[in-house]
Amino acid sequence: MTDVLDVARIKADFPIFEREVNGKPLVYLDSAASAQKPRAVLDAMEYHHRHHYANVHRGIYTIAEESTAAYEGARAKMARLLNAGSTNEIVFTKNITEAMNLVAYSWARRNLGPGDVVVITAMEHHANVVPWHILVEERGIDLRWIPITEDFQLDLADLDRLLDGAKLLSVTAMSNVLGTLNDIRLLADAAHAAGALVNVDAAQAVPHLPVDVEAWDADFVGFTGHKMLGPTGIGGLWARAELLEAMPPFLGGGEMITDVRFDGFEPNEVPWKFEAGTMPFVEASGLAAAVDYLGALGMDAVRAHEKSLTDYALRALEERFEGRLHIHGPSDVERRGGAISFAFDRIHAHDVAQVLDEDGVCVRASHHCAKPLMRVLGVPATTRGSLYVYNDESDVDTLVESLAKAEKFFAI
Amino acid sequence: MPGLEDLYREIILDHYRAPRNRGELPVPPAAKAEGFNPLCGDEVVVYLALDPETDVVRDVKIGGQGCSISQASTSMMSAAVKGKPVEEARRLIRAFKALMSIHESKLEGESDGSDLSAELEGVRLGDLEALQGVVKFPVRIKCATLAWNTLQQGLDELEPADA
């Protein structure tokens, strides 16, 4: 296979791959949980700390202005990555969970009441489930679920009925468990036709695919930095400017105001209205470096690399284990990304992951914060290997060999 | 670095592959207790019948599903307490939990482990000692203790522990 990415060179950009685990090279297959960091990201944060560390938007002095410029520069880079109409449509948050909660607390509490319908899907991460459950309890909203088909796609047979009268469709662009890619444009068109807005969980999509919020015709899109080679502690929400303008503040505090009196306050302008307190501006510099890094690779190339590597992995797993290992996700790589969940019939996910760890192979064994989906799949947990720019066929080969060892070890 | 053989001792794999005392008992007179580890989906069911005359654990049946450690630990627990006086079963629970927590409390600097060692004084754990390797893998400790916490629930239901 000729790879569109030079993985050996990319791997050399990530200091963590200099270490070993149990005397073996690190095979990191858990990027869907959190991605490793290239030196450029670490350097950018260190540079910010060492060179112009000062709180943003506050000081009238050189380094504070530089710090602010770096923070706002990160916003602009993120806006360009997502093809946002305006830089000010990017609100920084702690992570995508906070971004989803921003939609639920600010937009939904202003706009939804008893009986109002929010539609989500059976493949959502808890971050796009629990905020709505809270609104069911608190506001009496009605939560409807789009089911999934046997081939791990959204079952859109009843979509029109489910969207009838809905105020919001909140859906993931790519399942963190199944790898399934959802057709956001098609869903957005259906939702808008029904009069509903569209909120997209793009935690898994932004790191791995070209994302264009205009082409999606979405209304809200959440992302998180640490899954896209950036640091923890920063994520964000893109939303159409007029929605952000009309939304009330979420968290109250410093920076999100223009005036505070004894009898009230005036909120700041968008997006700072939603950025209360000292924000993770050093992490924003790291995120900006991650955006640059991904930009230099090209998101089309990232997607092409992962598509061919996912195809290689699916074939290798199928050839080696045939029917003994079940892959919970689509087989067509056009319709899926590189998060690959699987389960042996007789071996628990934790036991599999334990054996893999001995070979330096990092996979996730859990419900992946998607318990409703686990119920649909009928399993308590799956093992998930997920691919990214620094993985190649040798990583997949090691995974397969290590799985064979686990199968032998637990042979009944 | 602890290896797989520290965790998956042969006797553990044997209990995992061929669990003892699987089945159910009529409730009542037996008690049924269920334990759940929501993080990994381990599930343990313990049926417990006591002989009221002698205060002995007359019969134990187990069920559930989960990883090898949780299921082997359940099987080993059932073999260890069946036919034993309730008082001894309770002592085993305390001793097993002490075995699992000494390492952790030393790591956290809460204790030098001597208070926990007292729980282990004079208790013969036998095969259960094979599970000691689990403490080198801290995330798996809950898998091993689930059976014992569930047994305790069952015992408490049948005869509440002395305060």
Average pLDDT for B18-32? 91
Cβ atoms within 10 Å of A376's Cβ, excluding its own: 16
> What is the pLDDT averaged over residues A123-129?
97
Name the residue among A126, A284, A303, A128 with its Cα closest to residue A207.
Answer: A303
Domains of chain B as residue ranges with CATH: 4-158 (3.90.1010.10)
Helix A281-297 with A62-82: angle, nearest 10 deg: 40
Cβ separation of B4 and A412 shorter than 8 Å? Answer: no
Enumerate the H helices of A21-95 as residue ranges: 39-51, 62-82
Quickly state the pLDDT bin for B33 (edges 50, 70, 90): very high
Q: Distance of alpha carbon A32 from its chain centroid, rounded?
A: 8
* Percentage of the residues of chain A whose pLDDT score is greater than 70: 99
Give per-residue pLDDT as tens, A87-113: 999 999 999 999 999 999 999 999 999
The CA R_g of chain B, rounded to the nearest whole Å, is 15
Is the pLDDT reported for residue A127 higher than 90?
A: yes
pLDDT reported for residue B117 = 67
Mutation pick from A21, A126, A348, A375 vs chain B, by most beta carbons of B within 10 Å, is: A348
Question: What is the reported pLDDT for B159?
Answer: 81
Predicted pLDDT of residue B7: 87
Checking if the pLDDT of B156 tops 90, the result is yes
Helix H or strand E segment including B98: helix B86-107
Q: Which of A132, A134, A197, A129 is nearest to A166 (CA)?
A: A197
Catalytic residue among A209, A369, A381, A403: A369
Exposed / middle / buried, residue A305 (Cβ in 10 Å: 0-12, 13-18, 19+):
buried
List CB contacts (< 8 A) between A354 and chain B. Answer: 4, 7, 137, 140
Supply the pLDDT for residue B104.
Answer: 55
Domain ranges of chain A: 7-30+299-409, 42-296
* Range in A19-23, A297-301, A342-346, B103-107 the model is least confident about: B103-107
* Nearest chain B Cα distance for residue A282, angstroms: 32
Residue A343 clears pLDDT 50, i.e. is over it: yes
* pLDDT score of B10: 84
- Cross-chain CB nearest to B7 (options A349, A354, A365): A354
- Per-residue pLDDT at B161: 62
Question: What pLDDT shows up at residue A367?
Answer: 86
Mind listing the pLDDT tens digit for each residue in A218-271? Answer: 999 999 999 999 999 999 999 999 999 999 999 999 889 899 999 999 999 999
The per-residue pLDDT for B163 is: 43
* Cβ contact, residue pair B67, A355, below 8 Å: no
What token pair was written down for A17? 């791959």
Per-residue pLDDT, B113: 54
User: What is chain B's mean pLDDT, rounded?
Assistant: 85
Cα A49 from Cα A42, distance rounded (Å): 11
pLDDT of residue A221: 98
**DSSP states along A271-296:** TGGG--SS--HHHHHHHHHHHHHHHH
The CATH superfamily of A7-30+299-409 is Aspartate Aminotransferase, domain 1 (3.90.1150.10)
Residue A285 one-letter amino acid? S
If you measure CA to CA, which chain A residue comes closest to B66? A348
Model confidence pLDDT, tens digit, residues A164-173: 999 999 999 9
Is A362 considered catalytic here? Answer: no
* CA separation for the pair A275, A284 (Å, rounded): 13
Which residue of chain B has the CA closest to A379?
Answer: B41
Task: Give A362's pLDDT tier (boundaries 50, 70, 90).
Answer: very high
Residue of B nearest to A351 (CA): B67
CB < 8 Å to B17, chain A: 412
Tell me how far CA of residue A214 lies from CA of A168, A211, B129, in angstroms.
18, 9, 62
Nearest CA in chain B to A378: B41
**pLDDT tens-digit readout, A133-144:** 999 999 999 999
**Mean of pLDDT values over A148-163:** 97
Contact B66 A380 (CB under 8 A): yes
CATH assignment, A42-296: 3.40.640.10
**Minimum mean pLDDT range among A34-38, A265-269, A397-401:** A265-269
CB atoms closer than 10 angstroms to residue B109: 7
Q: Determine which of B15, B16, B40 to mutate to test the interface with A (most A C-beta atoms within 10 Å).
A: B40
What local confidence, expressed as pLDDT, does residue A107 receive? Answer: 98
Please state, in angstroms and rounded to a whole number, the distance separating the CA atoms of residues A168 and A377: 26
Tell me what ipTM this predicted complex has. Answer: 0.81
SS3 call for A409: helix
Q: pLDDT of B81-138, one tens digit each?
A: 999 999 999 999 998 998 888 655 555 555 555 566 667 666 777 788 888 888 888 8
Judged on CB neighbours under 10 Å (0-12, 13-18, 19+), B103 is: middle
CB-based contacts of A357, cutoff 8 Å, min separation 6: A21, A22
> Rounded mean pLDDT of A12-17?
98
- Arithmetic mean of pLDDT, A8-25: 96
Mean pLDDT of the A378-405 span: 95
Asked if B137 lies within 8 A of A367 by C-beta distance, the reply is no
Residues A60, A63, A64, CA angle at the centre, nearest 5°?
A: 45
Band (B162; pLDDT cuts 50, 70, 90): low
Number of Cβ within 10 Å of residue B161's Cβ equals: 10
pLDDT attached to residue B52: 86
pTM value?
0.91
Supply A86's token pair. Answer: 């305006």
pLDDT tier at A412, thresholds 50, 70, 90: low
Mean pLDDT across B38-55: 88
What are the distances in angstroms from CA B115 to CA A93, B101, B149? 46, 11, 20
**Distance (Å, whole) CA A273 – CA A385:** 39
- Best of A20, A344, A345, A350 to disrupt the B interface (most B CBs within 10 Å) is A350
